[in-house]
Structure formats: C-alpha cells, structure tokens
Structure 1
Amino acid sequence: MDTMRERFAPVMTRLLDEDPRVAVVLAEIGAADFGEALRRHPDRVVNVGIREQLLIGAGAGLALAGLRPVMHTFASFLVERPFEQVKLDFGHQGLGGVLVSAAASFDWPAGGFTHMAPGDVALLDTLDGWTVHVPGHPDEAEALLRHAVAAGDDKVYVRLSVQSHAQARPVDGRRFLTVREGRAGVVVAVGPTLDAVLEATEGLDVAVLYATTVRPFDAASLRWAADVARPDVVLVEPYLAGTSTAAANDALADLPHRVLGLGVGRRELRRYGTIEEHVAAHGLDARSLRDRIGAFLAAGTVA
C-alpha cells in the first residue's frame, strides 16, 4: 500500500488538470514528485526553495489573485517556522488556502527534533477559522485533499502521515464515524490511531468514534455517544496530548463527565529510533492504551 504522502503528488496533479484555480506551492520538499505537473502547468506549480516564510507568502499572493493555493512541506516547516505568515498572510487578510504537511509528530525519526511537530494542531488551534483534517489511510487522505481543495475559500490544514490503519473508512470532512457502540464510556480515535484503539478496546463495553476532521470539533457526535454511554471520554490523538480536551469539555459542558487526553507527550525523546519505538514510548501502542483506558474507566466506576 502506498503512503499518504506518496498519494499527494498524483492527486494534486489530477486536481491541477481538473481545476484551473488550483496552484501548488512547494519549498523544495516533494518538488521532485511534481515534474510532470510542472511541465503541464508551469504557471501554477511553484517551488520557492528552502524558504518556508516565502512558501506561505507566495501562497497568500496566489490567493489574492483568485487561485486556490495548496502549500506543502514538513509540518515543522509549514506550521511552526512560518507561523507569523500563516497568522497574518491568511488569517489577518481573510484569505483561504490549503496547508498539507508531512512527517508531523515523529514520522521521520532520523530527521531529529527539527523535523518533528507534535504541537502543530495545537498551534493552529490558537487561530480562528481553520479546518483540520487528520486522515488515517491513504484513501481517506485523497478524499480529504479533494474536500479541502473544493472548500471554497476556507483555510484548511491536512495532516498527512506515514502511519496508517489497515482499512479505509468513509469520511465526509465533517462528522465523526461511529465504529463501535458501547455503554461504559466513549473513546475518540483520531486518524492513524484507530487500529491501536480498536485492538486496545477489544472486549470493553465502550463506544469508539473515529475522527478524521478534528476542527471544527464534532460536538454533536460526541454528545450523542455520551448520551448513550457513560460520559467518560478518552481522546487518542497522534499529536500533542490534550489538544482536544477543551473541545470535548465544551461539548459536554452541561453533563457531569471526565475527559482523558492521550497523545504525544511534551518531553523530547532524544534517542530517535523508529516510529514504532516512539509510538510505544508515548504510550500510544495497543497494550499501553489498553492499560491507560482501562484504568481511567475503572476509576470512574469506583467514583
């Protein structure tokens, strides 16, 4: 199976052919995959080199000219390094565009901490009006990329990962999907965490919701699940732990409830190792999730 990032260039090449408004802006990363697109659309495929602030500024300029810019590089260089440009060039000017990242939390451990951005979604959460998609499978990534490009003049972030679950799920760019029903609590699995969550909760009487669009947060689906089950909620996110706990608390504000946010810890892991080792070190493997989710739900039963 190809990865989400391997799917990105072919999908964008087709979108460039299909829609004359679409433009792609690159900062060297991934440029080799757009050779054919550049030949066919030299005026709408732009490589600014290793200049990430210019990547965002050029994308905003294309948006001002009426195009739908799609800007792509590693998450640390797309969200963190040019954050001021994202805030001002798109937010302050009221422009729309699509940010598509790769190698976010720890997808390329050999690159070291400079190429990791587990806080990307939390950072974008400080800005108003961003839609955030976190696909968990290449087919979902393709569907959400198309959804993002077609989203009028909205501001959209698509977070690609080499991590993936085995089976693609239907995604609509809005709602959480109910994967499993239960009454002892609700577990929300975001993007590529789904398979680990399903394994971790096997045999537990919990509802499992699958989230690929986390902003806007689907409060209605969480509220529906919490009305059926005990309103103890576990959020399992492939980025900074606790990123969505406030959104979950707001969704259940009038109910007595508990929320546990699981995800990437704040402590930097300096022995970079493999993706699987990072997953385990942050407690996001199935065995660790089983222990943490079970302990949380058991504590609520005692209370």
Structure 2
Amino acid sequence: METMRDRFAPVVSRLLDEDPRVAVVLAEIGKDAFREAMARHPDRVVNVGIREQLLIGAASGLALTGLRPVVHTFASFLVERPFEQVKLDLGHQDAGAVLVSAAASFDWPAGGFTHMAPGDVALLDTLDGWTVQVPGHPDEAETLLRHAVAAGDDKVYVRLSAQANRQGRVIDGEHFVAVREGRRGVVVAVGPVLDAVLAATEGLDVTVLYATTVRPFDTAGLRRATEAAGTDVVLVEPYLAGTSTAAVSDALCDVPHRVLGLGVGRRELRRYGTIEEHVAAHGLDARSLRDRIGRFVGAVGRVAVGA
C-alpha cells in the first residue's frame, strides 16, 4: 500500500512546477525523491546536508525573501533537535513555512529512540500560531499538503506516518468529521488511530469524531457533539498521551466535563520490536482501547472486539 510519505514528494514536486513561490529544503533525508525536481528547479530545491538547525534557518531565510518553503526530515530532527530555530527563526521572526515530518512517534522502531518523536506536537504547542495537521491516509496527506502550501505565509506542521487507516475521508483542513453518533460520550480519534477507535467502539453508544487538524482545535465541532452525546470526552492521539486534553477543557470550560487522554506513554520502550508491538505496548490497539474507553463511559463488558 502507498504510504503518506510516498505521496509527499510527487505532490510537492508538482507544486514546485505550478507555483514559483514554492521551495523545498532538505537535510539529506528524502533527497533522492526530489532528484528530478532539483534538476528542474535547482534554485528552489536545497539540500543543506545533515545540519538540522541550518535546515530551519535556511527555510526562514527563504520565507523572508517571499518564498513558501516546504521543509522535510524525520520528526525528531525537524521539531526536537532544531527547536530553538523553530522558535526564533520562524516564530520570533514571524516567518512562515510548512514543516513536513516522517517517522512520527515510532514508525521506524529499528532506528531507536533517536528517531522517535512522540512529543513533537506537545512541543510545538508551547509556541504561538502553528497549524498542526495529522492525516490518517495518503489521500488526506495530499489534501492537507496542498492546503498547507496554499496557506499564505502561515506556520504549518504536517505530521506524516507509516501508519494509516484503510480509507481516506473527505476533510477540509479545519473541522472534525463526525464518523459515528451516540449518546454516552464523545471519542476524538486523531489521524491514523481512527480504524482502531472504530473497532474499539463498535456497539458502544458513543459519538466518534475524526480529527486531522488538531491546531487550531475545532472547539465548535466538539461542543456540538457534546450537546447530544454528553461531556465525557476521550482523546485518542497517535503521539504523547494528553497532548490535547487542555484544548478539550478550554472548549468545555463553562460546563461540567470529564476528559481521558490516550496516546503514547512517556516510558521509553527500549526494544526495537515492530510498529504493531509498539502500538500494543502503548495501549493503542483496538482491544486495549475498547477496555479503556468502555471503562470511562461505563460500558465495559457489553461488546467484545473481534480478533
């Protein structure tokens, strides 16, 4: 199956051809996928080598000249390692760019903890003015990439993952999508965890909202859902557990509510394993989610998740 990252380079290469403002900045990773685009646009496809701080600094400089830089590498090298440059070169200078990550929380287990970044969205949450997109399917990744590049001079983070749902959804780059409706709580599934959430909540009387844009948080969409389903809210995020619980509490600050944040735990898993084993270890597989969500909404034992 085609991955989100497989879709990334062809889409951005077409955008380079279509829009003279678009530029691409790389740090070795992903350079082969842009070889042809670099030959066509040598002045707008830049490889800075293994220098992630320079990666962000160069993108900022291009943005300040009026270009729209698309910056790509693994999430740990795109957000965590050059965070000071993200904060100052982009944020402090109010320079816009599209940061597109790969590897997500643990998509390359053999790379070890240096190539894992479950805290990337939480880290960006300490900064002002970032849009954060978390597609759950290659089709959605293409839609969100095009939205991000077209978003004027905004600062946008697009989080690509090797994990994906079986089918893409129609998304608009702003709002949550109601996938299932119920009356005993709301479950917000972010990006590639949707399939597991749907399996986990099969037969439970809950509303399932699908989120691919998590910043800005769709406050109005959540409030509409809670009017019918109640104010017990479960967040299932493919990154650090609890990253968006404050956003939920802010959205529901004027009404009594409960919120449960599920996601990647803080404990470092020191064995490589597989993606599926990491998913299970963090309790993000359908069986674990069924138990945790069911207990929270008071529905444990009613429905068993199939093998």
Q: Same fold (TM over 0.5)?
A: yes
Task: Establish whether residue 92 from structure 1 lines up as the match of residue 120 from structure 2.
Answer: no
1:10 deviation in Å? 0.3
Q: How far, CA to CA, are the matches of 2:122 and 2:177 in structure 1?
A: 22
**Which residue pairs with 1:79 in the alignment?**
79
1:219 deviation in Å? 0.5
The runs of at least 4 aligned residues of structure 1 exceeding 4 Å deviation read none
**Which residue pairs with 1:46 in the alignment?**
46
Q: How far, CA to CA, are the matches of 1:39 and 1:272 in structure 2?
A: 38
Structure 1 residue matching 2:43: 3-state secondary structure: coil
**Which residue pairs with 2:233 in the alignment?**
233
TM-score if structure 1 supplies the norm length?
A: 0.98
1:299 deviation in Å? 8.5
Q: How far, CA to CA, are the matches of 1:279 and 1:126 in structure 2?
A: 26
Q: How far, CA to CA, are the matches of 1:253 and 1:275 in structure 2?
A: 36
Structure 2 residue matching 1:184: 3-state secondary structure: coil
Structure 2 residue matching 1:253: 3-state secondary structure: coil
Q: How far, CA to CA, are the matches of 2:52 and 2:288 in structure 1?
A: 37
**Which residue pairs with 2:195 in the alignment?**
195
Deviation sequence 1:250-296 (CA, Å, 0-9, x none): 10111111000000000000012000000000000000000000011
**Which residue pairs with 1:129 in the alignment?**
129
**Which residue pairs with 2:174 in the alignment?**
174
**Which residue pairs with 1:147 in the alignment?**
147
Deviation sequence 1:189-245 (CA, Å, 0-9, x none): 000000000000000000000000000000000000011112100000000000000
Aligned residues: CA RMSD:
0.9
Deviation sequence 1:151-177 (CA, Å, 0-9, x none): 000000000000000010011110000
**1:249-288 paired onto structure 2 within 5 Å:** 249-288=249-288
**Which residue pairs with 1:56 in the alignment?**
56
Q: How far, CA to CA, are the matches of 1:86 and 1:257 in structure 2?
A: 35
Q: How far, CA to CA, are the matches of 2:247 and 2:231 in structure 1?
A: 14
1:142 deviation in Å? 0.3
The aligned amino acid for 1:73 is T
Deviation sequence 1:111-156 (CA, Å, 0-9, x none): 0000000000000000000000000000000000000000000000
Q: How far, CA to CA, are the matches of 2:117 and 2:69 in structure 1?
A: 22
Of all paired residues, the percent bearing the same amino acid is 83
Unpaired runs of 5+ residues, structure 2, are 301-307
Q: How far, CA to CA, are the matches of 2:250 and 2:92 in structure 1?
A: 26
Q: How far, CA to CA, are the matches of 2:89 and 2:51 in structure 1?
A: 15
**Which residue pairs with 1:8 in the alignment?**
8
1:298 deviation in Å? 1.2
Q: How far, CA to CA, are the matches of 1:171 and 1:212 in structure 2?
A: 8
Structure 1 residue matching 2:298: 3-state secondary structure: helix
**Which residue pairs with 2:156 in the alignment?**
156
Q: How far, CA to CA, are the matches of 1:104 and 1:291 in structure 2?
A: 25
Task: Establish whether residue 244 from structure 1 lines up as the match of residue 244 from structure 2.
Answer: yes
Q: How far, CA to CA, are the matches of 2:252 and 2:282 in structure 1?
A: 27
Q: How far, CA to CA, are the matches of 1:124 and 1:21 in structure 2?
A: 25
Aligned residues: 300
**Which residue pairs with 2:34 in the alignment?**
34
Q: How far, CA to CA, are the matches of 1:75 and 1:52 in structure 2?
A: 11
Structure 1 residue matching 2:247: 3-state secondary structure: helix
The aligned amino acid for 1:136 is G
**1:282-301 paired onto structure 2 within 5 Å:** 282-298=282-298
Unpaired runs of 5+ residues, structure 1, are none
Q: How far, CA to CA, are the matches of 1:261 and 1:187 in structure 2?
A: 10
The answer to whether the 8 A contact 2:204-2:299 is kept is: no
